[in-house]
Each structure stands twice: as C-alpha cells, then as structure tokens.
C-alpha cells in the first residue's frame, strides 16, 4: 500500500517549506554571513564563495545541489528526494530574495551566532517537519551510509560540517569565525531538535493497531526502519491486538506517526524517549 499526497497536503508542504526556507535564509543573510560565520553544509560553502567572488549565494547553492539531487533520484528515488529537490530550489530563491530585501547586520559575533543559529534551527525544523531537507550533505551522507554502514549519517554530516567550517575559517582569515560557526551550528541543532521532538538522539514509537501488516509494509518500504510486533490484550475489554514498536531518529517520528494515522485512524500511539540506541541503523557499540 503506497500513500499518495493530496493536493491539500502538497499545498501545505509548499507553504510551510517556503516559510521555513525564508526564516533560514533571513538568518543566514542578515546575521550569519555578514558577521563572517559559516552555517555549515552546502550553504556554508556557498556563503564562503560569495565572500570570495561575489557570486550569489543562492545560485551557488543551486549549482552545488543539482548533481547531488540527480544522483539521489537515481539511487534513492521516492517522495523524500522530490521534496528535498523542491526545498533546495525554494531555499536558493529565498536566499536571493533575502539578500536583496533584508538588512545585513554587523553585530557582536556571539549574538549573531546564537540568534542566527536559533532562527536557522527554527527554519530548518519546519522543512524537516514536511519530510524534506535542504539537500546537499544530507543526501550525500545517506548515500555513503548505504555503501558503508559503519559510517552513520550523523557522523558523516558532522565530519562534513567540520570540513566546511575549516574552509570558511580559511576564507575569512579569522579563527574566531570558525569558533563562532560552531556556536551557531550548535544553537541551530538544539532548536531543531527541540521543535521537532525534543533533544534526545532517538524516539520509540509504540502503536496498538489492528492493521499491523500494512503499517509494517509502509514503515519498512518508506523509511527502511524495522518494526517489532508484540501481542497485546486490552486490560478492560480483553480484546487481542498487535502492538508495534519502532525505534527511529527524531526527524523520522513525524513520518512514522503519519503512516500509522493514515493506515489506521483508530491506532493508539505512544512516543517515548530513547537516550541511547545500539543496533542496525544506529550506534554499533
């Protein structure tokens, strides 16, 4: 069973994605870039190249992402890559728009890094909530993880962000730029996690349902996450049901809950924290 997006869902995705991209872009162009701070990822590369050559940040971001998205379509396919492609295009447009319309504030670097990071995280969380990313490193990390399972997606993204920060530090010619970039990225990650589903590394989703087969098929097919079935009996009714347990990363919780609700509107869902997860698709040791 494959879920299809309705016109209303598509419209909501586009509107919220645009809002998220604009908030993210405003943070980058008004606070982060003017104070020589790197936002990390492909946006960080684009900002540094803009500082060197004056080439528009949005245009550079788009050019960097096009080959990655094409490879992502070939290797991964699916709605996720389609939404990411749209989000990348919207982000490139918003970067150009914000660069022309919004003021560029040169303020105290610690203020710029903290508040810039907060707004970047707020914008990014809206994009993630709609099942997309800003492309670039996220897609590359997913592809590398599929080839080399011992390299987790989070670890790959971390290493790439470190490389981008070092590159930006060299370009800006200031060690403080690199240090403030770390502060900005940390603030962004904390806000993103808090807005999505808290700051823990993972979540456990429990669902008591009468349609376990369909839900398992969807979760396995769309998210490539394993699902454990547990026999459950109602303490009051005595009815027998199936309880599903699925351990996911925080940015996957919304997708799992969406699958469950669409498949079984009467399903009873409980979401709990998972402080540390060891196993396939997570930490190995």
Domain limits of the chain?
Answer: 7-197, 202-274
| pLDDT score of 188 | 87
| pLDDT score of 199 | 46
Domain 202-274, CATH among 3.40.50.300, 3.40.50.720, 3.10.310.30, 3.30.70.120: 3.30.70.120
Burial of residue 6 (CB within 10 Å: 0-12, 13-18, 19+) is exposed
pLDDT in tens, 119-174: 998 998 888 877 777 777 878 877 887 777 777 666 777 788 889 999 999 998 88
pLDDT in tens, 229-243: 999 888 888 888 899
The model's pTM: 0.67
| pLDDT score of 212 | 92
- Positions in the chain whose pLDDT score sits under 70: 1-5, 152-154, 196-201, 275-285
Tell me the C-alpha distance between 131 and 259, whole Å: 12
The string of DSSP letters for the chain reads ------HHHHHHHHHHHHHHHHHHHHHIIIIIGGGT----HHHHHHHHHHHHH---HHHHHHHHHHHHHHHHHHHT-HHHHHHHHHHHHHHHHHHHHHHHHS------HHHHHHHHHHHHHHHHHHHHHTT----THHHHHHHHHHH-TTS-HHHHHHHHHHHHHHHHHHHHT-HHHHHHHHHHHHHHHHHHHHHHH-SSSEEEEEEEES-HHHHHHHIIIII----EEEEEE-TTT--EEEEEEEEEEGGGHHHHHHHHHHH-TT-EEEEEEES--BSTTSB--
| pLDDT score of 97 | 92
| Terminal Cα distance for the chain, rounded | 35
The three-state DSSP-derived secondary structure of 237-262 is: CCCEEEEEEEEEEHHHHHHHHHHHHH
| pLDDT score of 2 | 47
């Amino acid at each position: 069973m494959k879920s299809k997006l309705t016109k209303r869902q598509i419209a909501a995705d586009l509107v919220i994605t645009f809002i998220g991209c604009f908030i993210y872009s405003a943070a980058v162009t008004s606070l982060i870039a003017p104070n020589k701070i790197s936002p990390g990822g492909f946006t960080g590369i684009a900002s540094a190249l803009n500082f060197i050559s004056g080439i528009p940040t949005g245009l550079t971001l788009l050019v960097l992402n096009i080959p990655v998205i094409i490879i992502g379509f070939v290797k991964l396919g699916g709605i996720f890559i389609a939404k990411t492609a749209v989000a990348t295009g919207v982000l490139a447009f918003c970067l150009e728009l914000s660069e022309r319309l919004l003021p560029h504030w040169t303020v105290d670097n610690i203020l710029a890094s903290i508040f810039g990071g907060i707004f970047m995280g707020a914008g990014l969380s809206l994009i993630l909530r709609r099942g997309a990313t800003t492309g670039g490193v996220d897609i590359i990390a997913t592809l590398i993880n599929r080839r080399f399972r011992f390299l987790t997606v989070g670890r790959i993204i971390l290493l790439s962000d470190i490389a981008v920060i070092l590159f930006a530090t060299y370009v800006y010619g200031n060690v403080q730029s690199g240090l403030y970039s770390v502060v900005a990225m940390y603030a962004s990650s904390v806000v993103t996690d808090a807005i999505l589903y808290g700051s823990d590394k993972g979540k456990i989703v429990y669902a008591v349902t009468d349609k376990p087969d369909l839900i398992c098929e969807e979760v396995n097919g769309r998210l490539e996450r394993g699902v454990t079935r547990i026999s459950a009996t109602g303490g009051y009714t005595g009815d027998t049901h199936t309880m599903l347990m699925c351990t996911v990363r925080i940015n996957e919780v919304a997708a799992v809950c969406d699958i469950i609700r669409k498949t079984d509107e009467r399903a009873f869902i409980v979401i709990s924290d998972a402080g540390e997860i060891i196993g396939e698709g997570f930490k190995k040791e």
